[in-house]
Amino acid sequence: MAAPPAIPRRGLFIGGGWREPTLGRRIPVINPATEATIGDIPAATAEDVELAVAAARDAFLLDGGSNWSRASGATRAKYLNAIAAKIKEKISFLALLETVDSGKPKDEAVADMEDVAACFEYYAGLAEALDGKQHAPISLPMEKFKTYVLKEPIGVVGLITPWNYPLFMATWKVAPALAAGCTAVLKPSELASLTCLELGAICEEIGLPSGVLNIITGLGPDAGAPIASHPHVDKIAFTGSTETGKRIMTAAAQMVKPVSLELGGKSPLVIFDDVADIDKAVEWAMFGCFFNGGQVCSATSRLLLREKIAERFLHRLVEWVKNIKISDPLEEGCRLGSVVSKGQYEKIKKFISTARSEGATILHGGDRPKHLGKGFFIEPTIIPDVSTSMQIWREEVFGPVICVKVFRTESEAVELANDTHYGLAGGVISDDLERCERIAKVIHSGIVWINCSQPTLVQAPWGGNKRSGFGRELGEWGLENYLSVKQVTRYCKDELYGWYQRPSKL
């Protein structure tokens, strides 16, 4: 088993340097797999937010923007590539930090860090390409005017990110925001902030201009809310719960401030009886709901099975699930670690208890693994034959819990798939690709997977519909989130425009 890392003691990263929070408070860091206190993080308040926003505003405006916001995309790309290179150098250390902070298996954390580096590199490429897209001409049906378009950074952006993929989710926002020329205040979740603070150390190491990225940690009401309502923050990008998203929208609306929101989900995975390789479908069903402990906003936690295949599929699913290695996430081969915190553990247990009280049966799991006496571990849980009125079917659990419903016809499957307030993702597994394409068109979500679940590609758009939020991250769409489009039109003729009559000369 890998040795736990030494936890660096960090302050708030503001204006290119470190400072203790104004009130001197810190929050203990608990390893969710052992329940041991392993360090602490600063607890920022509104006073610290004020300092961070001021540093970001100064960096945005410095020398008329020539230092960052109006520098070439190629200049900004050099810094993004330098961050990516440092991430690669520190992958092992960062992955260990992520594991002890969040409880995810070490192998998953390593993959996350590889994706973090790839994301910074991708947006470095888009930053360079942005230079060639400036002054793009607009074709006009007249010769009197010439028009072109500029793409400019929105300004100072507030980035509020979740605990399930701490550095990875932060990078989805930080990398495109910096590529666009914005300056930023990043506020990660207080439940898992260690790697985001290390990002500050990396920025210091590579010489990122002071104030371009500021990182503050602390509780949502104390540190997150003041960012959302701050008059000098020009945009908010948030990933987290739907309820918190509503509060952020309300705060931003007072200043007509743009927001992009990636919120909750209750995604369906529809599996038809024509699949030739049932084990392949079973593995994707597991990956869709048990990867990262099911703490994934897009988790396909509503499993819809064609009646003819349901019994055989569930039997095989249980056999596969019994084979998952549940252990301390630092152990080799761990495939299910702990959930992130005691609060999350108790919330998931309450969902399972409520399902039982509403008449559901637990086919597998539902408890703490017997061999693990400490830590916030929950067995992968399978709940078949649920009704659509049950809480477990309708609400996001954010844990390793999958509920199952049987359907007879394709139209019934689509109706069940769309029977949700959420619209982040969905999937269909069938050997009939025409059917898959047909269903992909009618599932009401921002993402649809065919014959798989959860592939996340930095080049492709990510985001949802309905109560799963709006706006798109990743790909070129992620960059556009942080750009403002400006029309510039020039009158080209020497003569008067001629709308008004020229007064006679004296």
What is the tally of structural domains in the chain?
2
In whole angstroms, how far apart are CA 10 and each of 18, 157, 313, 353? Answer: 7, 23, 49, 40
Same domain? For 109 and 25 the reply is yes
Closest residue by Cα to residue 311 from 271, 280, 284, 351? 271
For residue 5, being part of any structural domain is answered with no
Region for residue 179 given its phi and psi (left: phi exceeds 0; alpha: psi -120 to 50; beta: otherwise): alpha
Count, residues in the chain: 506
Nearest to 380 by CA among 325, 333, 312, 305: 325
Please state, in angstroms and rounded to a whole number, the distance separating the CA atoms of residues 359 and 440. Answer: 32
Same domain, 398 and 340: yes
CB 197 within 8 A of CB 232: no
What residues are labeled active site? Answer: 262
Task: Please give the pLDDT value at position 5.
Answer: 84
Does any domain span residue 391? yes
The reply to whether 399 and 298 lie within a common domain is yes
Q: Give the pLDDT of residue 418.
A: 98
Residue 355: inside a domain: yes
Same domain, 399 and 434: yes
Whether 457 is in a domain gets the answer no
Angle between helices 106-133 and 73-89 (to 10 degrees): 170
236-249 in b/e form (b: 16+ CB < 10 A) is bbbbbebebbebbb
Which residues of the chain fall short of a pLDDT of 70? 506
Would you say residue 160 lies in a domain?
yes
For residue 343, which amino acid is it?
G
Residue 413 lies in a domain: yes
Domain CATH code at residue 241: 3.40.605.10
The rounded distance, in Å, linking the Cα atoms of 294 and 177 is: 28
User: Locate tokens 């969905």: which residue?
Assistant: 426
Tell me, yes or no, whether 65 and 44 share the same domain. Answer: yes
Element (H, E) at 258: none
- Check which CATH number belongs to the domain holding 323 and give it: 3.40.309.10
DSSP secondary structure string for all residues of 25-63: -EEEEEETTTTEEEEEEE---HHHHHHHHHHHHHHHHGG
For residues 208 and 175, what is the distance between their CA atoms, to the nearest angstrom?
13
Domain membership of residue 76 (yes or no) is yes
Same domain, 92 and 150: yes
In three-state secondary structure terms, 230 is coil
Closest CA relative to residue 462, chosen from 452, 476, 447, 451 = 447
Q: Rounded CA gap, 395 and 168, in Å?
A: 25
Shared-domain flag, residues 257 and 284: no
The whole-angstrom distance between residue 502's C-alpha and the CA centroid of its chain comes to 60
- Here the contacts of 315-319 (C-beta below 8 Å, separation 24 or greater) are 316/278, 316/279, 316/282, 317/282, 317/285, 317/286, 317/382, 318/363, 318/364, 318/382
Label residue 254 exposed, middle or buried (CB < 10 Å: 0-12, 13-18, 19+): exposed
Specify if 497 maps to a domain. no
What are the structure tokens assigned to 191, written together?
Answer: 């439940």
Burial of 434 (0-12, 13-18, 19+ CB in 10 A): exposed
Q: Domain check: are 304 and 250 in the same one?
A: no
Read out DSSP for 351-416?
HHHHHHHTT---SB--S--TT--SSS----EEE-S--TTSHHHHS---SSEEEEEEESSHHHHHHH
Residues 206 and 352 both lie in one domain: no
Print the domain residue range for 415.
Answer: 268-450
Regarding whether 280 and 239 lie in a shared domain, the answer is: no
Q: Are residues 162 and 38 in the same domain?
A: yes
Q: Which residue has the tokens 């019934």?
A: 412
The residues pairing with 269 across neighbouring beta strands, listed in sequence order, are 303, 427
> Same domain for 386 and 291?
yes
